Homo-oligomer: A and B are copies of this chain.
Amino acid sequence: MTSKTFLLKELAEFVGGELVGDGDRRIAGVADLEAAAGHDITFLMKGGQEALLQRTRAGAVVVPVGVDTDRSAIRVKNPALAITKIHQRFLEQEFVAGGVHPAAHIGRECHVPAQVSISALVVLGDRVVVGERVRMEPGVVVGDDVVIGDDVILMAGAVIRAGCRIGNRVVVQSNSVIGSDGYGYVQDEQGRHVKRPHVGVVILEDDVEIGANSCVDRATFGATIIRQGAKIDNLVQVAHNVSVGEGCLLAAQSGVAGSTTLGRGVVLGGQAAVTDHVALGDGVMVGGKAGVAGSVQQGVLSGYPAIDHRTWLRASSAFSKLPQLVKDVRDLGKQLAELLEEKKGTKR
C-alpha cells in the first residue's frame, strides 16, 4: 500500500506509548492479527486476549496497559486510538492535484483553485466556491451557489444541492443527497397536498462525515445544520430544520424528523428515530431501533416509545412471560372468587 517505514520507537513516541522490546524494528504497515506479516504492526484492543498474540506473524503489536508480552510492542492506554493514529500516519500522503478533468462541467462564475481534483463527469452549477485540496469523484453534482471548504471529499454520485454550505474536511460518501427538499405539504380546500417552498439550505460544519445513500433535507426557512465533527452513517434521514449537535453519532438507517434538535454528542443507534419538534439534551444515547417520542434532557433510552434503557431491559425480559401472567392472574381471580363465595356461604 505504501513505501513508508517507521522505527517502532518512532511510532511509540508518536502515540505517547511505552516501548517494549526492539525499538529499532522497522515497521512498514498496519494489519490485523491474522493478516499481519513480519514488517507490520498489529494490535490487541483489550486485555485477556493475549492468546491471540501467539499466532500472529506481526513484527510488533500495540497492546493495552497491563498486558505483558514478549513481543516488541507499544503499550498504551487506548490501543484503538493509537493504532488509528499510526495507521493514518502510514496512509497520509501529500495531496496530488489532478486539476479539473476536461469531461467535468463547471458552471459560470465558479471559484475553483488549482489545488483540486475534480474528476470526469462532475457537474458544478453557477457561482460555486471550491476550497483548497478538494476531491470530487465522478458523478458528483453540485448545485448553484454552493460553498465548499478546504480538504473536502465528495465521493462518486454525491449530490450537493443549491445554496448549501460545506465546511472544511467534510466527507460526503457516494450517492448521498445534501439539500433535498424537505417533506412539507399543506392541505388545500380540496384536500390536495400543496408543497411548501423550501428556501432554506443545509450547513455541514467542519469535520462532518456523511455516509452513503443518506439524505439531509434543506430547511423550509433558514438552515438544517450538522454541527462540527458529527458523523452520520449510511441510509440516514435528517429532515428539514433539524440541528444535529457537535460530535453526534447517527448510526445506519436512523432518522431525525423535522425541526428536532440534538445536543452535543447525542448517539442514535441503528434504525433509531426521533420524532419532530423535540430536543434531546447533550449526551443522550438512543439505543438501536428505539423511537424517541418527546424531548429528553439526559439518559440512555430504548424501546418505542423510548424509555429509560434499564427499565426497558427489565420490561422487555418480562414481555415473553406476559401470556403466563395473564393466565396466572385469571387463576388467582378464580381462587379468590371461590374463597369469597365459600365465605359468603359460611356466613349465610
- A180 within 8 Å of B by Cβ? yes
**A147 → B minimal CB distance (Å):** 17
The 8 Å CB contact of A229, one of B193, B209, B326, B340, is B193
A213 & B213 in contact (Cβ 8 Å cutoff): yes
Chain B residue nearest to A185 in the complex (CB)? B231
Smallest beta-carbon distance A231→chain B, Å: 5
Q: Are A315 and B304 in contact (CB under 8 A)?
A: no
Given A141-B139, A213-B177, A325-B326, residue A85 in contact with residue B194 (CB < 8 A): yes
If A180-B174, A255-B271 touch, does A325 touch B319 (CB 8 Å cutoff)? Answer: no
Is A316 an interface position by the 8 A CB rule?
A: yes
Contact flags A308-348 to B (C-beta < 8 A → 1, else 0): 10011011111111110110110011011001100100000
Any B CB within 8 A of the CB of A47: no
Which residue on B lies nearest to A235, using beta carbons? B237
Return chain B residues, CB-CB under 8 Å to A173: 177, 180-181
The answer to whether A222 and B141 have CB atoms under 8 Å apart is: no
Q: Are A32 and B180 in contact (CB under 8 A)?
A: no
Is the pair B323, A315 in contact by a Cβ cutoff of 8 Å? yes
How many Å lie between the Cα of A213 and that of B181 in the bound state?
12
Q: Indicate if the CB atoms of B320 and A322 lie closer than 8 Å.
A: no
Other-chain residue from B31, B196, B239, B315 in contact with A319 (beta carbon distance below 8 A): B315
Q: Known contacts being A212-B180, A325-B329, is A105 close to B84, with CB within 8 Å?
A: no
A318 touching B314 in the complex, CB below 8 Å, given contacts A237-B235, A332-B332: no
Most B Cβ at <10 Å: residue of A192, A196, A270:
A270
Q: A87: CB under 8 A from chain B?
A: yes
| Chain A 53-91 near chain B by CB (<8 Å), digits 1 or 0 | 000000000000000000000000010110011011001
Cα A303 to Cα B304 in complex, Å, equals 8
The minimal Cβ–Cβ distance linking A66 to chain B, given in whole angstroms, is 19
CB-CB contacts of A265-289 with B at 8 A, as 1s and 0s? 1000011010100000000000011
Out of B156, B209, B340, name the residue touching A339 (CB < 8 Å).
B340
In contact, A191 and B139 (Cβ under 8 angstroms): no
* Residues of B with C-beta under 8 A to A193: 229, 231, 247, 249
Distance A329 CA – B312 CA, assembled complex (angstroms)? 20
What are the 9 closest A-B residue pairs judged by CB atoms, nearest first?
A180-B212, A123-B138, A141-B156, A32-B221, A177-B212, A215-B234, A318-B322, A237-B252, A183-B233
Q: A35-B221, A141-B156, A252-B257 are in contact. List 17 more A-B contacts (CB 8 A).
A: A32-B222, A35-B222, A81-B188, A121-B139, A139-B157, A155-B161, A159-B174, A176-B213, A180-B211, A192-B247, A193-B247, A253-B255, A312-B320, A318-B322, A325-B326, A329-B332, A339-B340
Chain A residues with a Cβ under 8 A of chain B = 1, 30-32, 34-35, 78, 80-81, 84-85, 87-88, 91, 103, 105, 119-121, 123, 137-139, 141, 143, 155-157, 159, 161, 171, 173-177, 180-181, 183, 185-188, 191-197, 199, 207, 209, 211-215, 217, 220-222, 229, 231, 233-235, 237, 239, 247, 249, 251-253, 255, 257, 265, 270-271, 273, 275, 288-289, 291, 293, 303-305, 307-308, 311-312, 314-323, 325-326, 328-329, 332-333, 335-336, 339-340, 343
